[in-house]
Chain A
Amino acid sequence: MIRDHFRVLAVNLSSRKGEIVHLDGRNSEAGGSGLAALLFNKYGLPEHPWNDPRQPVIFAIGPLTGYFPLMSKTVCSFKSPYHDQYTESHAGGRSALSLFFANLDALVIIGKAKRLCCVSISSRSLEIKDVSFMKGMTVDESGKILRTISKGSGHRTTLRIGPAGENGSAMANINVDTYRHFGRLGGGAALGAKNCKAILIHGDAIFPGIKNKEYNKLFEKVYQQVTATDMMKKYHNLGTPANLQGLNDIKSLPWRNLQATSDPAIDKINGERFATDNLLRNSACSGCPVGCIHVGFVREMFDANHRYTFKQVAYDYEMIFSLGTMLGVTETRAILNILDLMEKAGLDAMSGGVALAWATEATEKGFISEKESGVRLSFGDAEGYQLATEMLGNGVNDFYRLLGQGSLKAAREYGGVDFACVLGQEMAGYATGEVFFAAQSLGFRHSHLDSGAYSYDQKHSDQDIRGAVDFLINDEAGRAFMTSMVACLFARGVYKEELLADCLHSIGYPELAASIDPLGKHIQKLRWQTRIATGFSPEGTTIPKRFFKIKTWKGPIDPDYLNNLKSEYGKAIMGLAGA
């Protein structure tokens, strides 16, 4: 709802009470990323560990949520179990509109329940239910039960964690409405540490329409741009898997734990192949007519007498990279089967796949054996990876529990640090060159979406440290504003600054409309200051040797360029934060 302040519900699981808080800052922190940082500074304890019951898990939306297409994301922020520093993770599904129609700008969960619980809210209700019976339950099992014990079908979001989150895995995600996730950096464990299995948000509020006549015209213009033009075509056609072939062609797609950057087998698992053989249907986040969610279908005969079961699994570029090319698995069906188990365990499929890739090479090199991994891991052996996924999710032994904290942590214990494909966290699927490696290593979320570094790499073969660092810093500021609205970053080609200003103006936020550029920089600074207060330093992240030994379309990685780039980027981050 349009208001000059933030309306926040803070739920304390220890006292089992909620509090509505009205907070200033609409014209300075805007919402989303900015609001999440503001709230962490209010509720967070920078010097205390991530699993201190007092630490907050924050969900925030922005001023454009619910008012324009593709303003469909929620920012989740928390102190990460992965690095014990402040971070964000973003997801769509129905989360943003449900929070919006619950008449909240943010939901903050603090405290720790005595027993496993489910927080259920709407614009007119708050309930904390005991769900001890869900202990250890997979994401799909708990989802089915949660749907039956709550109301608001179609107008509610169902956030839940799997066994991985309950076990404290730093790769545990928060599942959002089955097909979306707050995936990276362990948000699932942050909720698990609070004994919070699920959060149900029923969006049942009704807000007055916008009286400004320009609003409806502008809405229609944006709607036309995202549906009737080619601007969003790549996202709803083959979807992000369309990039697999292209990146493989330019030797930038990691294969078999980044031992190669291209392989002819890509034609078995590229975007066309998935669309032809496995795409069942598309789905969308609420408020987004693009429908970029690609739901894949796998049919399995479990009995010789033609008895079948079937699975529906949403796939994207990143999962095909992490569970396909990175593991040397070159069958679409096999990739979806591993992904299905990652989903059930509540594991981030990107991190989980890259971790298993490290474990496979560690097996090949003799650092670990079946004694640790429970199954002989071998590139291309999909059945082995299915078993390993379940063991990783359940944390069945010391090895898997440590691996769930991060590949590099396991490598430090068992050996194999040089080939752990970790850039701040398990790498995203872009071996495009030095700029991306430096950018993910030090990026705010260690995400490929922190900035357009992988795109920059593909357009620049020259070595321009100043130019690259300026690009990363400026691009991040623009994205910080987008994620404060909160826009889907797929819409960044549509929502240019002028259009964002028009949108904000049309619904009554003239101050925000007039200060997009400085606000982006302010929010970028605030986020970094918040992270630095929790322990970040550029020197704390190292780039393993594997990244220095590969060849991209530009040729071999230049170690000096990569090291200098990382060093200068780190200085620029600390400089902008005033640290």
Chain B
Amino acid sequence: MKKLTAPRIDRCIGCHSCSLTCARLVHKQISWDTAGIRIKSSGGLTTGFQAIYCLACNPAPCATACPTGAFSQRKGGGVIVKKKLCIDCGECVTACPIGAVSQDHSGAVYVCIHCGRCVDFCPHNCLEMEEVKTAATAEEN
């Protein structure tokens, strides 16, 4: 089981290619909002950039908060999203401690599903898919 990480976000140039890719390839939209990873400047352009994405909590507070089972716990952290079950209540948005779940004007929510599609579109190699160390793999190591 892998999860998205941004170990070299200090190299980010703010091109938004990751967000645009996620929206384009995962959510089939043209947007820099409806994406599982979003880039913002951290206190103005002179201080670099910050990537907002799901940090793969386990247990995930957004999954706990979800009243319909649209968000359920993903093995190794993060959530499995079943859009058909979502009622656009936004509880997950409120529950996420770092603002990683975004909501569009219609109420639909977007979160990183740790698919890694964005990784290849980062020109400075800021992003990486990392194997999650579960209890079993920790013992094996």
What are the residues of chain B within 8 A of A223 when measuring CB–CB?
Answer: 17, 121
Query: Is B30 an interface residue, CB under 8 A from the partner?
Result: yes
- CB 8 Å contact bits of B116-136 with A (1 = contact, 0 = none): 000001011000000000000
Q: For the complex, what is the distance from the CA of A290 to the CA of B124, rounded to whole Å? A: 9
Does the CB pair A153–B33 fall under 8 Å? no
- CB 8 Å contact bits of A526-546 with B (1 = contact, 0 = none): 000000000000000000000
What are the residues of chain B within 8 A of A153 when measuring CB–CB?
Answer: 40-41
Does the CB pair A206–B29 fall under 8 Å? yes
Does the CB pair B124–A178 fall under 8 Å? no
Does the CB pair B32–A155 fall under 8 Å? yes
Give the size of the chain B interface in residues (CB under 8 angstroms): 31
Q: How far is the CB of A277 from chain B (nearest CB, A)?
A: 19
- What is the predominant secondary structure among interface residues of chain A facing chain B? loop
Given contacts A153-B41, A178-B46, A285-B15, contact A101 B123 (CB under 8 A): no
Does the CB pair A207–B30 fall under 8 Å? yes
Q: For the complex, what is the distance from the CA of A187 to the CA of B16, rounded to whole Å? A: 28
Does the CB pair B15–A154 fall under 8 Å? no
Q: Which of B4-46 contact A (CB under 8 A)?
A: 13-17, 20, 23-25, 27-34, 38-41, 44-46
- Chain-B contact segment, one of A3-11, A208-216, A249-257: A208-216
Q: Which of A147, A281, A286, A290 contacts B16 (CB 8 A)?
A: A286
Q: For the complex, what is the distance from the CA of A351 to the CA of B27, rounded to whole Å? A: 46
Query: Is A124 an interface residue, CB under 8 A from the partner?
Result: yes
Does the CB pair A290–B32 fall under 8 Å? no
Does the CB pair B40–A154 fall under 8 Å? yes
What are the residues of chain B within 8 A of A179 when measuring CB–CB?
Answer: 45
Q: How far is the CB of A571 from chain B (nearest CB, A)?
A: 44
Does the CB pair B121–A289 fall under 8 Å? yes
Q: For the complex, what is the distance from the CA of A344 to the CA of B134, rounded to whole Å? A: 52
Does the CB pair A291–B13 fall under 8 Å? yes
Query: Is B104 an interface residue, CB under 8 A from the partner?
Result: yes
Query: Is A227 an interface residue, CB under 8 A from the partner?
Result: yes
Q: For the complex, what is the distance from the CA of A475 to the CA of B90, rounded to whole Å? A: 53
What are the residues of chain B within 8 A of A208 when measuring CB–CB?
Answer: 28-30
Q: For the complex, what is the distance from the CA of A285 to the CA of B33, rounded to whole Å? A: 17
What are the residues of chain B within 8 A of A284 when measuring CB–CB?
Answer: 13-15
Q: How far is the CB of A17 from chain B (nearest CB, A)?
A: 23
Closest to A66 in B: B30
Does the CB pair A154–B44 fall under 8 Å? no
Q: How far is the CB of A507 from chain B (nearest CB, A)?
A: 9
What are the residues of chain A within 8 A of B15 when measuring CB–CB?
Answer: 284-291
Does the CB pair A144–B44 fall under 8 Å? yes
Given contacts A66-B30, A207-B29, A216-B25, contact A291 B123 (CB under 8 A): yes
Give the size of the chain A interface in residues (CB under 8 angstroms): 41
Q: How far is the CB of A3 from chain B (nearest CB, A)?
A: 13
What are the residues of chain A within 8 A of B34 when measuring CB–CB?
Answer: 206
Q: For the complex, what is the distance from the CA of A149 to the CA of B88, rounded to whole Å? A: 29
Q: How far is the CB of B8 from chain A (nearest CB, A)?
A: 13
Does the CB pair A219–B24 fall under 8 Å? yes
What are the residues of chain B within 8 A of A177 when measuring CB–CB?
Answer: 45
Q: How far is the CB of B130 from chain A (nearest CB, A)?
A: 22
What are the residues of chain A within 8 A of B84 when measuring CB–CB?
Answer: none
Q: Which of A67, A155, A206, A227 contacts B123 (CB 8 A)?
A: A227
Does the CB pair A283–B29 fall under 8 Å? no
Q: Which of A101-137 contact B (CB under 8 A)?
A: 101, 124
What are the residues of chain B within 8 A of A209 when measuring CB–CB?
Answer: 23-24, 27-30
Query: Is A312 an interface residue, CB under 8 A from the partner?
Result: yes
Q: For the complex, what is the distance from the CA of A153 to the CA of B52, rounded to whole Å? A: 12
Query: Is A204 an interface residue, CB under 8 A from the partner?
Result: yes
Does the CB pair B30–A147 fall under 8 Å? no
Q: For the complex, what is the distance from the CA of A66 to the CA of B24, rounded to whole Å? A: 11
Q: Which of A154, A178, A210 contacts B38 (CB 8 A)?
A: A154
Does the CB pair B33–A289 fall under 8 Å? no
Query: Is A259 an interface residue, CB under 8 A from the partner?
Result: no
Q: Which of A178, A204, A227, A289 contacts B45 (CB 8 A)?
A: A178
Q: For the complex, what is the distance from the CA of A178 to the CA of B45, rounded to whole Å? A: 7
Q: For the complex, what is the distance from the CA of A154 to the CA of B18, rounded to whole Å? A: 13
Does the CB pair A154–B39 fall under 8 Å? yes
What are the residues of chain A within 8 A of B33 when measuring CB–CB?
Answer: 101, 155, 204, 206
Q: Which of A268-314 contact B (CB under 8 A)?
A: 281-291, 293, 312
Q: For the complex, what is the distance from the CA of A534 to the CA of B105, rounded to whole Å? A: 44
Does the CB pair B31–A289 fall under 8 Å? no
Query: Is A97 an interface residue, CB under 8 A from the partner?
Result: yes
What are the residues of chain A within 8 A of B28 when measuring CB–CB?
Answer: 208-209
Closest to A208 in B: B29
Query: Is A143 an interface residue, CB under 8 A from the partner?
Result: yes
Q: For the complex, what is the distance from the CA of A227 to the CA of B121, rounded to whole Å? A: 9
Report 20 cross-chain contacts, Cβ distance below 8 Å, ordered by A residue: A1-B30, A101-B33, A147-B44, A154-B41, A206-B23, A207-B29, A209-B28, A209-B29, A210-B30, A219-B24, A227-B123, A282-B13, A283-B45, A284-B14, A286-B14, A287-B16, A288-B15, A289-B13, A291-B124, A293-B13
6 nearest CB pairs, A to B: A154-B40, A209-B28, A289-B123, A291-B13, A284-B13, A284-B15
Q: A154-B38, A210-B24 are in contact. List 5 more A-B contacts (CB 8 A).
A: A153-B40, A206-B33, A210-B30, A285-B15, A312-B46
